Amino acid sequence: MAMMQLEAPRRAGILSRLGAIFQRRALQRQTREELSRLSDRELADIGILRGDIGALSRGL
């Protein structure tokens, strides 16, 4: 019985962490896609090089 009481919060914690990972990856993907749509001129205006988009999106 005590084992089942410990597993429920652990499972909830794992699901919570997985949810956070999926949310973070979705935000990274959205950021990468939005920056990729900008022209080189628009990226230069905000101080970003096209080659930096991947690293910038992962850094969020």
Phi, psi at residue 49, to the nearest 5°?
A: -95, 145
Residues 3-60 pLDDT 10s:
556 566 677 788 899 999 999 999 999 999 999 999 999 999 999 999 999 999 998 6
- Pure H helices in 1-60: 2-37, 40-45, 53-58
- What six digits make up the tokens of 13? 């914690």
Q: From CA 7, how far away is CA 1, in angstroms rounded? A: 10
CB 27 within 8 A of CB 60: yes
Dump pLDDT digits (tens) for 39-50: 999 999 999 999
CA-nearest of 22, 58, 21, 52 to 36 is 52
